Chains A and B, each alone.
Chain A
Amino acid sequence: MAAAAQRKPVSLKVASLVFIVIWLMVAAFPFFWTLWGSFKVELDFFSIADWTNALTGDLTKETYGRPFTGAGYYGAWVQEEFWRAALNTFIVCFFVVVTSLTIGTLGGYALSRSGHNYVFWLLIAALIFRAMPPITLVSGYLPPFFQWNLWGYLPTAIIVLVAINQPFTLWMLHSFFQKIPKDLDESAKVDGCTQFQAFRFVIIPVMWPGVITTGLFSFLLAYNDFAVTAMLLNEQNRTMVPKIAAFLGTTYTEGNVMFAVAAVVSATVPLFLLVMVFQRQIVSGLTAGAVKG
């Protein structure tokens, strides 16, 4: 596209630039607003009296003598030990991504290399499975998990998240493997490899872009999940999102909204690093993967 871009008329270039700037404002503004507000007191962040308080921090100044305060961060990380939740989230995310990619690549590869009718029906079944509302699934898990003493532990939540995310993973990886020419592994098989050896030595080396993209979506699912982690983990094993929800309080009692806001901002940092590290793979992976639909 580089050659085409050079020939663009100026008006179109300006229009597309203006559009990007507007979009970035729409996309990122709430986040920057939150980042700014996370250094204020609650009454400034939710500035009911006058919205400009959120910018100037009048009430923060009254309380702390300066317009910024790290009280939210201190409260969340030190007082409420948010780092435990962060640690749990990383354990959950790591194992969800690894497990779901391992079994997903095997399954997706098999789906892409078999032309039988049941492949189509398996894909459809996976899609119907995905239609099930997660809250119903979770409430169905509770009785057996309690009965077999599986409830509350990280591995339980991990395997449930893996299973719930399998349909999406399968669909993505299936279409990705279809883009990898069949000749590659066929010729390996002609040379005497088994199907698994062909997969191991020929396909694995070329599959990373698609796998990394699928992995990113698995990661986001595990990272942002609330329905499963809130209901299946006990208090000690909570991940970040249910912990943040717990900061918000309930009908009877006061929450600490600024802890939640500070925690949300903190929770975005690792995602920033992740996207920066993997940005090239994310894009090229999807290219290779989803093109065939």
Chain B
Amino acid sequence: MLMRKAALAGAITLMTGTLLSSAAFAECGIENGRVSIIGNEFPAIQTVGAGAAECASDTVEVKSNLTADHQKLNVAGMSGDPAEYTTAIIANSSIVALLNEDLIRPLDDLVAEHGDGLSQNQLITINGKVMAVAFMANAQHLVYRKDILDQIGAEPPKTYEEMLEIAQKIRDEGILQNPVGGAYAAGWNLAQEFNNMFLGFGGEFFKPGTAEPNVNSEAGVKALEMMKALSAYMNPDFLTHDSNATNAEFRAGNVALMNMWGSRAATLTSADGVPQEVVDGFAIAGPMTVGGGDTAASTLWWDGWTVSKNISDEDAEATFIAMKNAIDPSIVQDPEVALQAVWLLEGYEPTPAATGVFAAANMKTIPYPTFPYMGLMHTALGAELTDFMQGKESAEQALKDVEAAYTAAAKEKGFL
């Protein structure tokens, strides 16, 4: 797919030298203006924030506020006129909130004027207009222990059904009691795992063209049943395990197979004190499919930046140039930066840790949906599926509850 093309194109990418020197000049060609960034705080975004800060000068003010609470702040912070933040770094799930409130401006004019060096697949177009520029990709995929799979003579699973078989074998051999890991913590994580499975079974979240929920379907029931089957091989506390806790289990050597975020693969075994057999056995592969389908039971994600609508043209231009400077392809020449993410930049050579995300992009994996009401569905799933996972109610009842909770929320927000 497009990403692979980007990677191939990287081999013949030019002008690395000139780009490096442009960063050194630090002026970036902005005369004056204000740049104010809001975004999450993980290392790749810190790198982008630092890159934009290089454009600061006597006449150009650059500041950033990188925090885990960015999603609670960006809407309020971009609503004023002029907006406090001139740009928000968002993912494909969180751009929706900004689109819904009409807080970001189309970038076509700025791309035409200053967009040289951005590749076509970085541009996020919505309704024919460029609304964001993506710089990194992410996906959940298989992470496994090669040594344990070798021990029982199994290949890494390509489907969730195979995963169940291998898990049973590992348990039978007495190697690990709970060989499967999963970020099934009630709330956002659990809902995300359902989304993966549901899309893998070919489900559609909404009736086509409307905001009517459609999860109480055959695909929904099958997805829940698969999750329940997997949870039998997980630590009994799985409903409290978020991705941090799941990773900790893997590091401690308690887990042999898990579906994990690509963005965390690079640092998974580099923490202090990880046992040597875990470091040696650590391996990753693409996402799995489920139920005989050919769609991966995973979702594709991008992170990118936007430009506020409620700011002057001068500030918008300054912001665009500074943010473009921040994601200049030259940054991935730094090996440490290259490890921080799966960059969507020309010249990026996928590190071994990035192969899972690349495999996901090359399979039939669906990007996380950007419906205006997807967030409501995600929240409803996170809250209402727990009873089923604990065996307190049937899959149909749980999905009925999800639809009821979603409907109440969507009515309030004016989608139904």
Contact = CB atoms under 8 A, between A and B. Distances in A.
In the complex they form, whether A and B have CB atoms below 8 Å apart is answered with: yes
B76 A252 contact: no
Nearest to A253: B42
B224 to A, nearest CB: 21
A5 interface: no
A46 B254 CA distance: 13
Given A62-B273, A146-B80, A253-B263, A231 B244 contact: no
Nearest to B273: A59
Interface string B253-282: 110000001011001000111110000000
A54 to B, nearest CB: 12
Contact of A43 (B66, B67, B68, B274): B274
A48 B242 contact: no
Interface in A226-261: 230-231, 234-235, 242, 245-246, 248-255, 257-258
Nearest to A48: B252
Given A41-B273, A254-B267, A152 B65 contact: yes
Given A43-B272, A59-B273, A235 B79 contact: no
A252 B84 contact: no
Contacts of A63: 272-273
Given A43-B273, A48-B248, A251 B73 contact: no
A139 interface: yes
Nearest to A237: B65
A160 interface: no
Interface residues of B, number: 41
A250 B189 CA distance: 11
Secondary structure call for the A interface: helix
Contacts of B72: 139, 142, 231
A42 interface: yes
A151 B42 contact: no
Contacts of B67: 230, 235, 242, 246
A250 B64 contact: no
B330 interface: no
Contact of A151 (B84, B138, B183, B247): B84
Interface string A6-49: 00000000000000000000000000000000000111101011
B360 to A, nearest CB: 15
B273 A149 contact: no
Contact of B65 (A59, A143, A235): A235
Interface string B59-86: 0000011111100110011011001100
A63 B272 CA distance: 6
A60 interface: yes
B43 interface: yes
B251 A43 contact: yes
A146 B308 CA distance: 14
Nearest to A43: B273
B41 interface: yes
A71 B272 contact: yes
Contacts of B248: 42-43, 46, 48
A147 interface: yes
A120 to B, nearest CB: 37
B388 interface: no
Given A48-B252, A71-B272, A143-B76, A249 B261 contact: no
Contacts of A254: 244, 247, 264, 267, 271
A63 B275 CA distance: 10
B40 interface: yes
B159 interface: no
A146 B254 CA distance: 47
Nearest to B189: A251
B261 A251 contact: yes
B69 A253 contact: no
Interface of A: 41-44, 46, 48-49, 59-60, 62-64, 71, 139, 142-143, 146-147, 149, 151-152, 230-231, 234-235, 242, 245-246, 248-255, 257-258
List 8 A-B pairs, minimum CB-CB distance, nearest first.
A59-B273, A142-B76, A253-B42, A48-B252, A41-B273, A41-B272, A43-B273, A147-B80
29 contacts: A42-B248, A42-B271, A42-B272, A43-B248, A43-B252, A46-B248, A48-B248, A49-B252, A59-B273, A59-B275, A62-B273, A71-B272, A139-B72, A142-B77, A146-B79, A147-B79, A147-B80, A151-B77, A152-B65, A231-B69, A235-B41, A246-B68, A250-B40, A250-B68, A251-B183, A251-B261, A252-B264, A253-B43, A254-B244
